[in-house]
Amino acid sequence: AEYMGGEVVTTVPTIGFNVETVEYKNIKFTVWDVGGQDKLRPLWKHYYASTNGIIFVVDSNDKDRANQAKAELHKILGEDEVRNAILLVFANKQDLPNAMSTEEVTDKLGLRSFGSRTWFIQGACATTGEGLYEGLEWMSANIKKVQG
């Protein structure tokens, strides 16, 4: 389930991937929900052109896959087309009792190793929408700086 415009929308697991355009504070976000499908990952790089910002959603409750998430994130951010893109990480599922804190997710993903890249981590709960607007607010303000 995900939170969209005041209502919770239940989604089915991504087959292939979904593309939507979302507008927030006069910024158009083209959102590719590429899910976690290994087979599709080599195709991701074809969508990086003109990317100003990346939103990376992490399951804070899945400590076992944190290293895999780190590897994917670092691979994405290593691509030349996204060298100037800002990064917003949503540490999702913060409502669950065993979820990693944003500090722990920061460490597990190695966010401090990105040098001059502008990044922000926001605790979130997609089912209630908690944290989503705060993250988009940060993205909106910082994308405007990147675009000049």
How many whole angstroms separate alpha carbon 106 and alpha carbon 121? 7
Share of residues in the chain with pLDDT > 90 (%): 47
Residues designated catalytic: 37
Instruction: Kindly report which listed range (27-36, 102-111, 130-139) carries the lowest average pLDDT score.
Output: 27-36
* The pLDDT value given to residue 1: 45
Q: What is the pTM of this model?
A: 0.81
**Is pLDDT at 117 greater than 70 in this prediction?**
yes
Reduced to 3 states, what is the DSSP secondary structure of residue 36? coil
Q: Which pair of structure tokens corresponds to residue 86?
A: 């800002």
Amino acid at the residue 81: E
DSSP 8-class letter at 1: -
Whether the Cβ atoms of residue 146 and residue 86 lie closer than 8 Å to each other: yes
Q: With b meaning 16 or more CB within 10 Å and e meaning fewer, what string describes 101-128?
A: ebeebbebbebeeeeeebbbbbbbbbee
In residues, how long is the chain? 148
Average pLDDT of the chain, as a whole number: 83
